[in-house]
Structure 1
Amino acid sequence: MKMNDLPDQFLYARKGPWPQPSPSHPLICADEVLNIPPMEELLFNETIGARYLKARVGYPAYAAQYAASMAGWRGVTAERFNQIMTETLFTRFRVEMQDEELEACRAAFAKDDDGPELGKALETGTWTKYDFSAMKKIVPLDGMHVAPTKVYFEEDATGRNLCRVIEVDGLLVRDTDSSFGIAMVYALQGASYHVLFVVHPALHFPMNSVNAITKTALPMNHPIFQMFLPHSAYSLALDNAVLESAESVVNNNAQGTRFDPLTGNAYNLKLLFGAGYAGLTEREGYDPRAYPRYNYMKPQMADSEHPLFHSFYGTWLARYYEEAFLPFCKIVADYIKDSANDPMMEYTRLWAKYLHTHVHGFPNADQIGEGDTLAKVMAIYMWNASVSHGGDHWSFSNQITAVEKCLRIRRPPPKTRTEAEVDNAKERIFSPNDMQRAALCQYMFFQAWAIEPNLFETRYALPDYGLQQAAKAFTENLSAVNAGLLQRVAPSTSPDGPSAVTNCQPLHPIMDGDTTIVPYERTIPQSIQY
C-alpha cells in the first residue's frame, strides 16, 4: 500500500484540528482541541446533544421522585462502604500506606482500650490506603462542605479488605467510633470527585491530541488512521462541550442549571484535572504515588505497573487489553513496520513526533518503531476509548447509586471521634434539590449510553487480507474475554443499593426471553460518546 502526499488524501486536507494549551490551566492540564470540525460538531448535536435535550425535558419528574425517596438516607453501612471501595472502579485509587501514616495511626489510638489491638494489626497486617487529599483544593459553595480524606484498609486472614480507619482533614476516625458514619460519607465524596476530576479525565482529554493529530497528520489510507477512526468519531466535540460549553457541569456556575450536582466553581474544580495529568508532588504536600504524573504508556489496569489494582475491575480491564487489543495491534504494527519502501513508517514517525510534544509519556519518533511500542500505542488508544472509558461509566453509575456519590454534603466534617452518628444527627447531609440534581446528572452524564455500532460491531477498513483476518480474530477474542468474565448478579431491592444486574459491563445486550436485562446502550461502546 503506497501513501499519497496529496492534501485530498487527508481527512481535512491537512487543515484539521490541532491541540493547544488549556485556556483554564495551561501549565497543568492536558492540551485541548478548541477548533472542532463542523461535521463532527454536527454529528455530536444530532446524537449526544439531542439525547441531552430530551433528558432535560423528560427526566426531571423522575429526578424529583428519586430525591423524595432519598429524603431519609442516612449514609452507608460499613459493609456497603467496603463493597463500594473494593469491588468497583474505586479500586483504581488503592496505593501503599506510608510508614509515617502507620505510625500516626498507632500513636493516635495508643491510649484507647482497643489501641493495643489496632497497634498490633498495624505492625503485622497488610495495609493499603485510598488517598483523596486533593479535595482540599476545592472551595465549596456556600452551605456545603468538603474535606481531604485518606481511607485505610486492613487485609484480614481471609483476604478481605476492611476499612479500619478514615482520616478526615487530619482527624483519625476508627470503625468503632460514632463519627465513622459521617467519615464514610466524606470518603465517598472524595472517591467520587477523584473519579470525575482526577482519573476519568485522563481517559478523555490527553486522547484528544491523539485523535486530532491522527486525523490531520496521517493519510486516510494509513492503517493507524483506519484503526483509530471508529474509536474517535464523537470525542473532540464531546470533550470540547465538557470543557468549554456554557452549560457544562464543569464549566458553569453550579446554580445556573438544574443538572449540576457539584460543589465548587468550575475553574476551581479543574485544578483536579491538573492533579490527574501533571500529578502532585511531595513538595506540595501530597503522596506522589497517589497522584502520579500522567503517562500515556502506563494506563491503569491490573499489571506490574499497578500492583494494588489487581481487583476484579483491574483484571477486567487488563484481560481485554492483553487478550484482544494488543494481539490485534501487534499484527497491524508489524505490517506498518515492514513497509520498508513505502513512506508509511515515515508518516508514523512524524505522527509520533507531534504527539510526543503534546502528550505526556507518548513515544518519540525514534522510539515508536522499537519492539512492541507501536502496537502498545495503538492498543492503548483503542482500548481506552472503548473498554476503559465505558467500564468506568458503567461501574460509576450501575454499581454506585447517585446518593452514594455524596457530591454535595451539608453536614460539616467531624472534628472529634465521638460526634453524633449519621442516623441521629440534626444536620441533613444534602437538600432535596441537591439530590434532584444528582439524579438528573447521573442519567444524563454518568450512565453508559452506547451509540450503534458498539465495540463488538466495530469494523475496520484495513487494506490487506491478513489484517482483515486479524480484525475478525479480534472480535472473536473480545467475545472470549466477555464470556470468561461476565456473570449475572441479583439486583438489590434496597433503594440505595447497587443497580447492576451483571458484574461488569457486557459486550452484548442480554435478554431473558422477551425481557431485556441489559439494553444495547449499556454495552461496551465503540468510542467515547458520553
Structure 2
Amino acid sequence: MSSTRTSPRRVKLRRAFHHIPRAIGLVSVGARVGAAAREPRLNQVLCQLGVLERDPATAKDAPLLEALPWGGKPVTAPAPRPPAGIDGMWPQGPICHADFYPSVLHLDPRERDDHLRYTALRYLGQIVSASPRAAWRARVRPRVRALDDAKFCELLTQTSLAQHLCSTLSEADRDAFASTMQGELADYAKIDFSGMRPDLALPGIELMPTVTLFHRQRDHRHRVVAIRLRDAVFTPRDGAAWALARYFVLQGAHVQHTVIVHPRLHFPSDVINAVSKSALPAGHLLARMLLPHTRFSLGLDLAVTHHRRSVLFNSQREVYTALPLTTEGICAAVTLGRVGMPGNHAYPTYDYWGVTHDERTRFGRYCQQWQDAFEDFTRGVCAQIPKGDPTVARWADAISEWVPGFPGGATIFRGDLLAQAIARYLTAVTVLHSGDHYSYAAIPIEYLPMRIRVPPPDEVRPASLDLDKLVSAEDHFRHQLCHRMFFAPTVIESLNEVRYRFRTPAARQAAQRFQTAQHQLDARWAGSGFPASYEIASSIQY
C-alpha cells in the first residue's frame, strides 16, 4: 500500500492536537465522570442507542484480574533483586501471569508521571471525544468492506503484516496444499495463523486457525493460492466460502500481529531500558547512546501488563476492548509469542536475534535498510568504548539473564557484537515498533473485522455472503475506539528530534552521519506507506 507522506509541519500540528483529549481526560479525572468513573452514564446512553448490546458493568472479569489495580495506584509486587551496588529499577518475574515476559514492576515516579500525563489522560479523553463518531459509524456506516484477491494480497504482503510471511512449509502444509501447488517449492510462502484458539474466543464470536498459501511473483508481489481452515482447503473457485475464509484470515492477522508478535518489541526492551538506567553511569558513552530512546516506555508497558483496565486483557467491562478472545485466551496468545509452537517455523521461541527482515517484501527491505543505518551509527560510537569495559560487561550480564539470546559480558566485545546488539534494540523501539503501528493503522478497519459472528465455511458452506452479518454494531464501535486509542500512532517525540550529547568528536561524527542517513531513507521511502524519521517515535511511546 502506498500513500502520500505527511509533511513534518503537519505531523507536529497533529501532535499538538493530542493535547485536546489529554485535557478532556484531566477534566474527567477531576470531576470523576466519563471514563474516569467505574460505571459511566455514557455506557447506558450507548445501550439505549443500540450501539452496545448490554451495559458493560454487567460483564464479569477473569479471576486473574482481581489482583490488578483499577485506577491510578501501582500494582502491589515484591521488590526486585538487583545485583549488589545497584539501587534502581530492575526486571523481575511478572505477577499477572507466570508465562508473560519479565516485567519492571517498581518504577521511578517520573516514569509513572510520564505515562499518566501523556498516555493515560489521552486514553480517558479519547473515550469521551471519539465515542459519538464511533457510535454513528457503527450504526449507520458499512461495518465490513468487500474485497477481492488482489486487495487481500495487498493487505497481507504489502504492509507491515508481511512480516508474517513464512518461507518454510511444514509437511502438513505440503500435504494439505499438494493439489494446488505447481513448480518449485521455493516459489511458495505461507501466512500461518494456526495459533488461533476457537475454544478461547468470547461467547458468540467465531475464531479459526488458518494457513494461507501464496505464490511468489517475479516483481516481489504475491498471488493467493489457497486457504486451509482447520482441515478444509478453500480456493478462489469456492465462491462465498472463499470470500468468508479470507475474512477469517484477516481476523487472525489482528490477533497474531497485536497479541502474539508485537509484544516481542515491547516487553524484552523494558529489561534493556531499566538496566541501562540503573546500571550505567549517566555520563557513560553507552548511556548517552541508549537513554534518549527509553523515555515513555516503562510506565506504558507496566500499565499494559499489570493494570485491570489494560486493553490487552480484553475485559468486556470496558468499551474499547475489541479483541475476540477471553482474558485467558489473551494470556495464552501472549505466551505463544514468547515460548513458540514446536515444529512450526511461523511460531518461533522468542530470541533477541530472532527478528529477521525478509528482503523479498517491501516492509522487510524498509526495516533492513533502517537497521543497517543504525548499525553504522552504533559501530561508530562503540568504537570509542574500550574493549573489556567492566561497566559494559556487567550491563550485558544483567540483560542476558532476562533476555534470551542477548550476549553476556564474556561475549559482548567479540567483533561488532556490542554495536549489533545496541542497533537491534534501537531499531526495535523506534523503526520496527512505529513501522508496525503506522502501516497497520493505515488499513481501514472495515477490511479487518476483529470479531466475526457467522459460522466458518468448513462448518456451514454459505451460498452467499452477507457482510452486514459478520460484525455487530458493538463490535465495530469497540474496534473504532481500540484503533484510535491504541493502534493509531501517537508520537510524543520523534526519532529525528533525538540529540545524543556526545562529547567525543568521533561519536558526534557518527551521530551526524546517522542524521544524514535518516534524510536519505526518508527520501527513498517517500510515499511507501511506511513512516519517515519525523513520524517514527524515538522510543516505545504508544
TM-score range, shorter chain: 0.7 to 0.9
Q: Is 2:102 aligned against 1:52? A: no
Please list every run of 5 or more consecutive structure 2 residues that lacks an aligned counterpart in the other structure: 1-84
Q: Which residue of 2 aligns with 1:436?
A: 477
2:268 equivalent to 1:227: no
3-state secondary structure, aligned to 2:356? coil
Letter matched to residue 355 of structure 2 = P
Give 2:36's aligned residue.
none
Change (3 A) 1:317 1:123: closer
Q: Per the alignment, do residues 138 and 464 of structure 1 end up closer, same or farther by CA in structure 2, a change over 3 Å counting?
A: farther
DSSP 3-state at the match of 2:524: helix
* AA at the equivalent of 1:290: A
The DSSP-based 3-state class of the residue aligned with 1:26 is coil
Q: Secondary structure at the match of 1:59?
A: helix
The residue that corresponds to 1:331 in the other structure is: 380
1:484 alignment partner AA: R
Aligned to 1:293: 349
> 1:474 deviation in Å?
1.1
1:22 is aligned to 2:132: no
Distance 1:124 1:259, change over 3 A: closer
Q: Tell me the distance in 2 between the aligned counterparts of 1:58 and 1:219.
A: 43
CA contact (8 A) 1:172 1:417 kept: no
Q: CA deviation at 1:310?
A: 2.5
Structure 1 position 245 matched with structure 2 position 307? yes
Q: Aligned in 2, Cα 1:471/1:159: closer, same or farther, shift over 3 Å?
A: closer
Distance 2:199 2:303 in 1: 22
Counterpart AA for 1:358:
W
- Asked if 1:365 is matched to 2:415, the reply is no
Q: Deviations over 1:371-397 (max 9, x none)?
A: 010001111111111111000000110
Following superposition, the deviation at residue 245 of structure 1 comes to: 1.4
Shift of 1:419: 2.5
Contact 1:279 1:294 in 2 (8 A): yes
Change (3 A) 1:445 1:72: closer
Q: Is 76-85 or 430-439 further displaced after alignment?
A: 76-85
Give yes or no for the alignment of 1:467 onto 2:507: yes
Q: For 1:72 and 1:91, locate their aligned partners in 2 and report how far apart those are by CA, in whole Å.
A: 24
Q: 1:367 to 1:70 in 2, by over 3 A?
A: farther
What's the secondary structure of 1:128's corresponding residue?
strand
Contact 1:74 1:422 in 2 (8 A): no
Q: Deviations over 1:259-308 (max 9, x none)?
A: 111122223212222222222113xxxx1x11111121232323xxxxxx
Q: Report Cα offsets for 1:132-177 as digits up to 9, x if no partner.
A: 1110276111111111000111235665411111111221111110
The answer for the alignment partner of 1:312 in structure 2 is 362
Aligned match of 1:507 = 533
1:383 matched to 2:454: no
Report the Cα distance in structure 2 between the residues aligned to 1:225 and 1:451, rounded to whole angstroms: 21
**Percent of pairs with identical residues:** 29
Residue of structure 1 aligned with 2:230, choices 169, 172, 178 = 169
* Partner Cα separation in structure 2 for residue 124 and residue 91 of structure 1: 19
Separation (CA, whole Å) in 2 of partners of 1:457 and 1:263: 38
Tell me if structure 2 keeps the 8 A contact 1:234–1:527: yes
Instruction: Say if 1:122 and 1:272 are closer, same or farther in 2 by CA, change over 3 A.
Output: farther
1:31 alignment partner AA: P
Once the 2 structures are TM-superposed, how far is the Cα of residue 123 of structure 1 from its aligned partner?
6.3
Normalising by structure 1, report the TM-score: 0.82
Which residue of 478, 484, 489 corresponds with 2:524?
484
Instruction: Confirm or deny: 8 A CA contact 2:144 2:471 kept in the other structure.
Output: no
Equivalent residue runs for 1:120-199 within 5 Å: 121=182, 126-136=187-197, 139-156=200-217, 160-178=221-239, 179-199=241-261
Distance 1:240 1:72 in 2: 33
In the aligned structure 2, how far is the partner of 1:273 from the partner of 1:247? Answer: 17
**Distance in 2 between the 1:315 and 1:157 partners?**
16
- 2:215 is paired with a residue whose SS is strand
Give the SS at the match of 1:463: coil
Structure 2 distance, partners of 1:127, 1:252, is 36
2: CA distance, partners of 1:460 / 1:299: 26
Moved more, 405-414 or 197-206: 405-414
Q: CA offset at residue 315 of structure 1?
A: 0.6
What stretches of structure 1 of length at least 5 have no aligned partner?
A: 1-12, 110-117, 303-308, 488-501, 509-522
Partners in 2 of 1:72 and 1:30 — Cα distance?
A: 35
- Contact 1:149–1:186 (CA under 8 A) maintained in structure 2: yes
Contact in 1 for aligned 2:176/2:228 (Cα 8 Å):
no
Letter in 2 for 1:411: V
- Give 2:324's aligned residue: 263
Relative distance call for 1:320 and 1:125 in structure 2 (3 A) is closer
> What CA distance in whole angstroms lies between the structure 2 residues aligned with 1:63 and 1:483?
35
For normalisation by structure 2, the TM-score amounts to: 0.80
Q: What is the CA–CA distance in structure 2 between the aligned matches of 1:478 and 1:44, rounded to whole Å?
A: 28
Separation in 1, partners of 2:539, 2:184: 46
Could you tell me whether the CA contact under 8 Å between 1:149 and 1:190 is conserved in 2?
A: yes
| 8 Å contact kept, 1:137–1:271 | no
Note if contact 2:201-2:329 (Cα within 8 Å) is conserved in structure 1.
Answer: no
Residues 78-157 of structure 1: pairs in structure 2 closer than 5 A: 78-95=149-166, 96-106=168-178, 118=180, 121=182, 126-136=187-197, 139-156=200-217
1:90-110, Cα deviation, whole Å (9 max, x unpaired): 11111122344222223xx5x
Q: Is the 8 A contact 1:246 1:252 kept in 2?
A: no
Aligned residue identity for 2:246: M
Q: How does 1:67-86 map to 2 (within 5 A)?
A: 67-71=138-142, 73=144, 75-86=146-157
What is the identity, as a one-letter code, of the residue corresponding to 2:480?
A
